[in-house]
Every structure is written in C-alpha cells, then in structure tokens.
Chain A
Amino acid sequence: GIQVEQSPPDLILQEGANSTLRCNFSDSVNNLQWFHQNPWGQLINLFYIPSGTKQNGRLSATTVATERYSLLYISSSQTTDSGVYFCAVNWGSQGNLIFGKGTKLSVKP
C-alpha cells in the first residue's frame, strides 16, 4: 500500500518564526489533505490539495503530485499553531485515508 512519510517528526520554534513541513508519498494519489490536531484531539482540515498551491492566511501548501511530495508552510508562527500536523492521502473513490506519523510543532512565546 501507499506509504506516507512526514518530516521533521518534531519541531520547536520561537513565536514569529517560519517553518516548512514535508510529506512524501510512495505512489500516485488523488486526494491529499493537511490536518492540524488540536490538544483536544480534533483533526482540523487545513488544506485539501491533491495538486497545486493554496494559501489561507499565514498557512500555505504546495503539492507536486508528479514528484510525490507536499509541503506545508507556516509563516509568523503563533503559540496557537502548536499541535500535531498530519498529512493524509488516498487513491480511488473509497474512504481509506492513509496518514503519516505527523509533525509535532511546539511554538514558544
């Protein structure tokens, strides 16, 4: 099956710093999403981005499907950005999301 690898596994930033999170996947996909898991466990959808580039405020994401990777950019980080960021992919029409192990981000004031 498809393998999803995220890097780095852990990231500590000072408030105001920028960061780039990476997601590599091993096969063609037709769905790629980035999620932020808050301290209460909810997965918040950041981007649905099977290809191309999207931006939402301080966050942006780029997926290069032909090279099988996606990047999540966080600019001017805030303490509320802390949490775990997951990349998830699937293929076909069936709901079998494959998740990476996540990047744990800690933003210090």
Chain B
Amino acid sequence: KAGVTQTPRYLIKTRGQQVTLSCSPISGHRSVSWYQQTPGQGLQFLFEYFSETQRNKGNFPGRFSGRQFSNSRSEMNVSTLELGDSALYLCASRESGGYTFGSGTRLTVV
C-alpha cells in the first residue's frame, strides 16, 4: 500500500505570494489532516477534512485554507504569505486507528 504523498517537498516563496500544497492519502483513507511545525510553536493542527467536508479547524488565520476532493486528495492554500509561515507542513491520513504522516513540504518564505 502506498503511503501518504505530499508535493512538493521543498518550496521557496516571496512574502505576499500564495502557495498551494498537495496531499494524497493512503488509498481508502477518507480523513486527511494538516499540521504546521515550527521551531518555536512545535506541531500545531491546522484542519481536518473527511469525505470532502472540513470537520475540524485549528487556531490559524483565514489565510490558511484547504479543501478535499472526491478521491480524498487534499490541498491546503496559504495566501498573502508572511515570513512566519516558513515551516514544515505535514499531512496525515487515517481511516480508523492511528494516523500516518507524509514526508512533509518544507516552505521557506523570503
């Protein structure tokens, strides 16, 4: 079974730009959740999608958004990038039991 696939692995963007990250869950998994990891704040929950519906949302500004498609693939978008958005963004999928994480997308905002 293929794991959770995140693309791209690395990204460099300029302040003010927007970015879209992609996550393909394990086949058959309907839940996809996103996390941000920074040295200062650690791992923080962004949002979770289940069967194309946002089921839960963390405490992040509205610049952070996401969606899920009918094939369970998910995208997250960050608009008007700020330097503080530089982070490792991790996606996880789950059907029942534990969560499986992808390799992450490392975003650098300059």
B-binding residues in A (CB < 8 A): 31, 33, 35, 40-45, 48, 86, 88, 94-99, 101-102
Contacts and interface: CB of A to CB of B under 8 A. Distances in A.
Contact of B99 (A40, A45, A98, A101): A45
Given A31-B98, A33-B99, 10 more contacts: A41-B88, A42-B103, A45-B98, A45-B100, A88-B43, A94-B55, A95-B55, A97-B35, A98-B45, A99-B43
Contacts of B8: none
Contacts, number: 59
Interface of A is mostly: strand
B24 interface: no
Contacts of A96: 33, 45, 48, 56, 58
21 contacts: A31-B98, A33-B99, A35-B101, A40-B103, A41-B37, A41-B88, A41-B104, A42-B104, A43-B92, A45-B100, A48-B97, A88-B99, A95-B31, A95-B55, A95-B56, A96-B56, A97-B35, A97-B43, A97-B92, A98-B45, A101-B42
Interface hub of A35, A42, A43, A98 (most chain B Cβ within 10 A): A43
Contacts of B88: 41
A94 B97 contact: no
A43 B45 contact: no
Q: Size band of the B side of the interface?
A: 20 to 34
B73 interface: no
A43 B97 contact: no
Contacts of B56: 94-96
A94 B98 CA distance: 12
Interface hub of A33, A98, A101 (most chain B Cβ within 10 A): A33
Nearest to B97: A48
Interface in B86-110: 88, 90, 92, 94, 97-104, 106
